[in-house]
Amino acid sequence: MVTHERARQWFLPAPLEEQPKVEVDTGVAHIARVYNYWLGGKDNFAADREAAELVISAYPSILASVRAQRDFLGRAVEYLVAQAGVCQFLDIGTGLPTASNTHEVAQLVAPESRVVYVDNDPIVLAHARALLASDPAGTTAYLDADLRDTSGILAAAANTLDFSQPVAVMLIGVLHCVPDADDPAGLVRRLLDAVPPGSHLVIAHPASDIHATQIGSAANRLNQVMADPVTMRSHAEVARFFDGLDLVAPGLVQLHRWRAVPADPEVDLANYGGVARKR
């Protein structure tokens, strides 16, 4: 169940006494920590590692897939800043800080870039300071909020982002954490309704229709041990999130093939990626 609290927000520099105190449930696997384990990070607990290993045994390519997802994020942000001229980002489902976070990639090209990070996991909140180390020419902020609270997110993000100018809404590896019953397409629509023409939507989403048997087994295993379930989706189901928008070439593809040079023909990952522009 989601509590629709107002999104809480921190900027740097925040005095130490204002740093949030977080409570972390270490007994059950959480996706942010499972993902951190797959990426080779250390911010995870026994329950997360067990869940992560269950998936690895069903679908060993998960390790290549999560690294490819980070690479896709980097290429998409680079494209948006360098070619589409977008330098505002609303990155929802940020995950634990790792190499090449959104603001680092964007500010390398356009130091004035502004990034609002959003995640609902307390351990991401605990590490959020690493996401707030902005180039002085730009700004970063972190919101402790749930994707399902779109109005709270948009209200708080408006303190950092100028919603009269294009914004890239980044939903990288997070929509599969929202079951169909919570209307993920409606959430995407509400976010895109709030941004002007020239804004972009970036999605990475695990595929249910590539290596379907392995992926089905991995998802079932994960859903038996995770605090929150995941929903893999087909190409057609992920494509629907882009309805009404213009997909940038090459469209919605396996994310390691999205503007990758060279795209390795041997790699075949069950993970879709796409970027689209609002007219």
Ligand X SMILES: C[S@@+](CC[C@H](N)C(=O)[O-])C[C@H]1O[C@@H](n2cnc3c(N)ncnc32)[C@H](O)[C@@H]1O
124 binds ligand X (CB under 6 A): yes
Q: Of the ranges 27-35, 47-55, 106-114, 261-269, which one interacts with ligand X (CB under 6 A)?
A: 27-35
Task: Give the span between the Cα atoms of 48 and 234, in whole angstroms.
Answer: 26
Q: Which of 239, 3, 200 is nearest to 88 (CA)?
A: 200
Beta strands of the chain (E only): which ranges? 8-10, 88-92, 114-119, 139-144, 168-172, 200-206, 246-247, 253-254, 271-277
What residue has token string 């707030």? 132
134: CB partners within 8 A, 6+ apart: 12, 103, 107, 115, 140
What are the tokens at 259? 């503007």
What residue has token string 């976010």? 191
Burial group, residue 88, by CB count within 10 angstroms (0-12, 13-18, 19+): buried
37 binds ligand X (CB under 6 A): no
- Which of 121, 188, 208, 257 binds ligand X (CB under 6 A)? It is 121
Nearest approach, Cβ of residue 250 and ligand X (Å): 20
Q: What residues numbered 151-190 form the site for ligand X, per CB under 6 A?
A: 172-174, 177-178
- Which of 54, 116, 147, 222 binds ligand X (CB under 6 A)? It is 147
115 binds ligand X (CB under 6 A): no
31 binds ligand X (CB under 6 A): yes
144 binds ligand X (CB under 6 A): no
Nearer to ligand X among residue 67 and residue 165 (C-beta): 67
131 binds ligand X (CB under 6 A): no
Contacting positions for ligand X (CB under 6 A): 31-32, 35, 69-70, 73, 92-95, 118-121, 124, 146-148, 172-174, 177-178
